[in-house]
Each structure stands twice: as structure tokens, then as C-alpha cells.
Copies of this chain bind each other. A is one copy, B any other.
Amino acid sequence: MMTSEAAAVGDPLEVGNFMLSNGLEVVVIPDHRAPIVTHMVWYKVGNADEPAGKSGIAHFLEHLMFKGTKKHPAGELATKVAEIGGEENAFTYRDYTAYFQTVTPEALGTMMEFEADRMRNLVLTDAVVETERDVILEERRSGIENQSEQLLDEEVQATLYQNHPYRIPVIGWMHEMEQLNCGDALSFYDRFYAPNNAILVVAGDVDTATVWRLAENTYGAVPRGPDLPPRVRPQEPEQNTKRTVTLTDPRVTMPSFQKSWVTPSYGTAEPGEAEALELLSEILGGGTRSRIYQDLVVKQGIADAGSAYFDGTMLDPSSFTIYGSPRGGEIEAVETAIDAEIQKIIEDGVTDVELEKAKNRFLRSVIFACDSQAGMARMYGAALATGGTAYDVQERPLRVRMVTAAQVQAVARKYLDPERSVTGYLLPRQTVTSGEKSR
């Protein structure tokens, strides 16, 4: 039973954090509610670490990691996990790639043996790589090319970031994915998949001593990989312009828009700024109690949806996004109204009452995320893979509590400049612009 906010993200007195001699960092989060354990390996490499021209290789390698080793052929891990009624999966994002299984505590050692084995011993052939490439190409076709929202979002990101690799889609650009080969996958694997570039997160019905013993016996035997330089990526230049990106697509049934700004992340922010941005997104557009929802959807009735979004768990500068979809079809009124909501906060700030409510909502969402064992493990893994510490994760609720109304107003004023924004428009049909006939 979770009874306090601090306990939500693991009891600091109980969370174990140590390093094996080969450089593998280990975090253990005891959670004895049920006899299950979540075993996650995080690699500090994501699509923002890909070589130029090789977009998609991080995610492609995530797929290829299931193709087996000399010791454990493809499918053996999946069979083992299924036998004991467990779950397994993997995900790739901008700064990390992670693999996890949720199993019974008795199976933890076996899972570690599998993960430790495929950390350095993956076997790939041209045939396997080429077949799996068709899978990721199809994943892009169905998940991006055939989803106009995703396609727009991709080009908005590429317009928002002009220098930093966050401009590149995680799944990759189609024309580069088509060229990825076995050599690309192996050189990426050899460079980045090693204990000294990984974090092991174990959450569940185990204790730190047991995890330490099992980890030593499995991961402990994996040799260090190459020493990697600091993760320094090209940073954004000053943005002097207001930009728009418009996708007109006959498949779209309802217009919508999104507006984004580059902002600090937990990895780059001045103390308190990332927390203030979390609360700003909560106040502006976090659910049905937010300003945008209450004013546009409930009161004025001009929007079907309206929200705000901030993901601070990034190594480099993140972004803040608002979103709106008109009721009926007039996109301009919704954009104008949302702009006005932002301007109101920039000029008049937020009230202590709504700040308090936003804090409660935000912290409740953290608690809910941690109610799932995998969610809790994920929070630690993502923080550690983006330059944070276990202590940061535990302290975050407290730091969010400390944010003042003045700080929320300050980040709105500092970062949400309308003259430095990037807006994406999704329009339902070929608009006949003046001077141009529809074809």
C-alpha cells in the first residue's frame, strides 16, 4: 500500500543502487505487493546517438536483439517467459533503449542470464537483418506514413529542432531505414551494448542482496565494452522566427493543431524550471480540470479537445506542446483562444489554489504510474539513462511540491514566446489557396 508521495517512487531507505566492477549500474526497488519481479536492462543509447545518415538503427537493433545468440537461439527467451506466464518487451526512445521481462522471482536469475548473454553475444546474418528490415519498414508505413497525425508530428519535430538530433524520428527516415544493413547493426551494437553503457533496474519481490548475487553471477562475467565519450550532441542555435508546418491530407476528418517550443529538460534545466514546466502543462492542459479544457471545451464550446504536454525526462533540451481540435471545424478560433490562455498566464500568472490542485494531480499521476511495477522501474531507468540519479527520482515529488506560482509564470514567460513557436496544422482536405487551382 502506498501511503505517501515519497513511497510512491520507492522508499529511499530501501532502494539499492550499486555498480559492478565492469561498470554496470544496478538499481533495486523492492516491491513486495505481489510475487513478481520486473527485470529491465537500459542502454544509454537512443536515436539521438545514431551516426549521421543511419537514422532508425537504434530501433532496428532493438528488433534484432531478439534474433538469438549462439547459446540461446531466437525464440528461446520468448518461450521461457511465456511458459511461466510472464511478459516481455522492449522500447527505443531518443536517449535510451530498454528490454524488460516481468516474471516470477524464481525466474529472475534465468532472465539475467539471457540478457547478459545477448549483451555482447548477439549473432546476426545478412538474411536475418534483411528480413527484419521489412518488418521495421512496414512498422513505419503503418505507424507513420499512414497516420497523418504522426507524419505531421514528425515534420514539426524536424522544424522545431534544426541542429540537434531530436529532429530525427526515432523510427528513422524511410530512405535511410531502407539502407540499414548487418554491418550498421553490428557496429552500433559493438559500440553501445556493454555493461559500462547499461543500467540494470530490478523492481519487485526481491531484496538487494539477492539481486547483487544474481547480477554478479551473470552480468558480472560480461567484459567491459569500449570507453565511450560523453554524450555531447549538437545543440540548438538561437531561434529567431515563428514557424508553421501544414499537412493537408484527404484522410483527415477533423482539423487540429499543435504548437511547440524548445524548453529545458530535467537534464539541462536550472533548478526548479523543469518542475515548473510540468505544472504549467498540468494547469494549461492536463486533463479536464485544466484551463484550456475548461474554457474552450466546457465554457466556450469551440473545441472538442485541448491539452498541453511536457516530457522533462530527456538528456538534452526537451519541448513543450499544446494541442487543440476545433468543434465544427474553425481551427483559428481555437488557436487564438489557446494563445490567449498562455498570454493570460504570462501576464497574470496562476493562482495558488490552481497550483495546489495541479501539484496534486501531477503527483497523483506519478503515484499511478508507480502503481505498476514496470512503471516504477521505468521511471528510474529513464532518469538514470538521461543523466539523472535514483536520488533525483525520489526527490522529484518534493521538488514539485516546492514550485511557486511565480516560478510557473516565469517559465511561461521565458519559454512560451509566440514569436518563437513552431505550429503544426493538420487539415482535412486539399485547401484551395488563392492563386492555385485544386488538381
CB distance from A261 to the nearest CB of B (A): 14
* Chain B proximity of A349: nearest CB distance (Å): 15
Interface residues of A in 406-439 (CB under 8 A from B): 418-419, 424, 430, 433-437
Q: Which of A17-25, A84-92, A239-247 contacts B (4 or more CB under 8 A)?
A: A239-247
Interface segment out of the listed A58-66, A229-237, A269-277, A373-381: A229-237
Please, how many angstroms separate the alpha-carbon atoms of A437 and B248 in the complex? 30
Q: How far apart are A97's CB and chain B's nearest CB, in angstroms?
A: 20
Nearest CB of B to A186, in Å: 19
Stretch at the interface among A39-47, A107-115, A151-159, A360-368: A151-159
- CB pair A418–B433 under 8 Å, yes or no, is yes
Give the contacting residue for A167; candidates B152, B162, B336, B418; CB below 8 A.
B162
- Complex-state Cα separation, A337 to B239, whole angstroms: 30
Given contacts A52-B52, A53-B233, A232-B53, contact A243 B436 (CB under 8 A): no
The answer to whether B174 and A343 have CB atoms under 8 Å apart is no
Contact of A237 among B174, B243, B337 (CB under 8 A): B174
Instruction: Summarize A's interface: helix, strand, loop or mixed.
Output: mixed
Q: Does A347 lie at the interface of the complex (its beta carbon under 8 Å from any beta carbon of B)? A: yes
A241 to B316: give the CA distance in the assembly, Å.
26
A173 contacts the other chain (CB 8 A): yes
Asked whether A339 is an interface residue with its Cβ less than 8 Å from the other chain, the reply is yes
User: Which residues of chain B come closer than 8 Å to A106, judged between CB atoms?
Assistant: none
Whether A435 touches B240, Cβ cut-off 8 Å, given contacts A52-B52, A53-B232, A163-B168, is no
Q: Tell me whether A419 and B248 are in contact (CB under 8 A).
A: yes
Instruction: Tell me if B336 and A173 are in contact (CB < 8 A).
Output: no
Number of contacting residues on A, CB 8 A? 50
Chain B residue numbers with a CB within 8 Å of A245 are 241-243
Most chain B CB atoms below 10 A, which of A151, A337, A435, A437: A435
Given A162-B167, A168-B163, A243-B244; A237-B437 close (CB under 8 Å):
no
Q: At the interface, yes or no: A238 with Cβ under 8 Å from chain B? A: yes
B173 touches A237 (CB 8 A): yes
Q: Which 6 A-B pairs have the closest CB atoms?
A: A339-B435, A340-B435, A336-B435, A173-B237, A158-B162, A53-B234
Q: Could you give 30 example pairs across A and B, Cβ below 8 Å?
A: A52-B52, A52-B233, A52-B234, A53-B232, A55-B163, A55-B234, A151-B240, A151-B241, A152-B240, A152-B241, A155-B240, A155-B243, A158-B163, A158-B237, A162-B167, A175-B237, A176-B234, A241-B246, A241-B247, A241-B424, A242-B245, A243-B244, A243-B245, A244-B246, A336-B434, A337-B435, A340-B436, A343-B436, A343-B437, A419-B430
Further contacts, 6 of them, CB under 8 A, given A159-B243, A246-B419, A332-B434 = A52-B234, A155-B162, A163-B173, A175-B237, A243-B244, A339-B436
